[in-house]
Amino acid sequence: MKRRDFIKKAAGGALVAASATTAAPAIAARKRFNWKLVTTWPPNFPIFQEGVEKFAKDIELMSDRNLRISVFAGGELVPALQTFDAVSQGTVQMGHGAAYYWAGKVPAAQFFTAVPFGMNAQGMNAWLYQGAGLNLWRDVYKPFNLMPFPMGNTGVQMGGWFRKKINSIDDLKGLKMRIPGLGGKVMAKAGVNPVLLAGGEIYTALERGTIDATEWVGPFHDQRLGLYRAAKNYYYPGWHEPGPVLELTCNLQAWQELPREYQIMIETAAAAANTWMLAEFEAKNLLALRELKQKYKVEVLEFPADVIKELRRLTDETLEEEANKDKTFRQVYQAYKSYRENNDTWNEISEAAYARALKL
């Protein structure tokens, strides 16, 4: 039954109920929805999966249980890396993950998560919500029948754990490192042998020396994986994923069939979860970092300036090569670059100047 038909029927028939409402409360006809949301995260994956569950709960409460979203972790309903297709085809209504997981299908999607030496969380939020970034993202996903929303951000991810100190760019040559995506491509140009490993395999590989280095997320998740005790390790700040945006996707037809009130609930709850997750990452990372340093004596170093400069040069080279392969990638790259240039100038006299002032 269409919503309009039902309202007519109810209005014609419900005389008793209608009179009961004249005092104060309203009787509203509300359509019920039972939706499914599949994620790319392991069950109970802290913050990532938690944030999605909080989002679904918020919507269930706001809609007085009329929009119920059942959340499934990666593999529970569909394999983690098939969530894009599952939502695109309408097998389920919603998905949660990170746009750069779909780089094989949509190379340009990487700009909506993070690129090496790209914008941090604050920059990404401003670009997406206000700087035309979100419209661009929606254009890019439309052919796939998907409506994306920013929902979560990990903050600056760490550069990773290395079994030996990196004193020059030559020290990277021949290293086997677990590092996926564009970061991996850049590292390959620097002579690294990038290895793909799922989260569950990293610890053992590093402990046994099958790999010489790995990145994962940040202090909190890295500590949970035990990376600090996989070997005598040096821990380096990040450069390859400076503020990865997590994404909510919604099947386009499912979205269009939703009454406006539920659409706004989803949009609003996703933005709230975006803030909630970044806050959670920051608050957990700072405690984990303290423990890693104080209790486990982890040595945090910085890459030498020459290494950073060379990685940045190789990043520009990599992005240019990718842009030559894919028209949409180039289009998004240009929009991103031009926004980002002004953002850097502003950041330089706001956040960056303030960070310098705090160090004096």
Site for a copy of itself in 227-256 (CB under 8 A): 237-239, 242
- How near is the Cβ of 65 to a copy of itself at its closest, in Å? 8
Q: Which is nearer to a copy of itself, 317 or 351 (CB)?
A: 351
Verify binding: residue 176, a copy of itself, rule CB under 8 A: no
Looking at residue 47, the DSSP 8-state letter turns out to be: T
Name the one range near a copy of itself by CB under 8 A: 135-143, 183-191, 201-209, 350-358: 350-358
- Find residue 149's DSSP bridge partners: 248
HSE-CB at 307 with a 13 A cutoff on CA atoms is 22
- How near is the Cβ of 97 to a copy of itself at its closest, in Å? 20
Per-residue binding string, a copy of itself, 194-233, x by CB under 8 A, is ------------------------xx--------------
Residues 71-110 that bind a copy of itself (CB under 8 A): none
Q: Quick one: tokens of 208?
A: 């046994």
- Find residue 3's DSSP bridge partners: none
Residues 6+ away with beta carbon under 8 Å from 219: 158, 284, 285, 286, 288, 289, 292
- How near is the Cβ of 85 to a copy of itself at its closest, in Å? 28
Verify binding: residue 296, a copy of itself, rule CB under 8 A: no
Residues 324-343 that bind a copy of itself (CB under 8 A): 342-343
Looking at residue 65, the DSSP 8-state letter turns out to be: T
Of these, 200, 297, 325, 349, which contacts a copy of itself (CB under 8 A)?
349
Of these, 1, 198, 232, 325, which contacts a copy of itself (CB under 8 A)?
1
Q: Considering only CA atoms, which of 145, 112, 158 is closest in space to residue 335?
A: 112
CB 121 within 8 A of CB 280: no
Of these, 53, 85, 201, 261, which contacts a copy of itself (CB under 8 A)?
261
* 5: three-class secondary structure by DSSP: helix
- How near is the Cβ of 175 to a copy of itself at its closest, in Å? 20
Number of Cβ within 10 Å of residue 191's Cβ equals: 13
Of these, 23, 104, 198, 297, which contacts a copy of itself (CB under 8 A)?
23
- How near is the Cβ of 181 to a copy of itself at its closest, in Å? 17
Number of Cβ within 10 Å of residue 254's Cβ equals: 17
Q: Which is nearer to a copy of itself, 203 or 236 (CB)?
A: 236
- How near is the Cβ of 143 to a copy of itself at its closest, in Å? 26
Q: Quick one: tokens of 330?
A: 């180039």
Of these, 31, 138, 163, 224, which contacts a copy of itself (CB under 8 A)?
31
Residues binding a copy of itself: what is the number (CB under 8 A)? 99
HSE-CB at 253 with a 13 A cutoff on CA atoms is 7
CB 296 within 8 A of CB 169: no
| Alpha carbons 149 and 258: distance in angstroms, whole number | 16
Q: Quick one: tokens of 174?
A: 């021949």
Verify binding: residue 58, a copy of itself, rule CB under 8 A: yes
Verify binding: residue 354, a copy of itself, rule CB under 8 A: yes
Checking 13-20 for CB contacts under 8 A at 24+ apart, the result is: none
Number of Cβ within 10 Å of residue 257's Cβ equals: 13
Q: Which is nearer to a copy of itself, 196 or 286 (CB)?
A: 286
Residues 115-174 that bind a copy of itself (CB under 8 A): 117, 120-123, 125-131, 155-156, 158
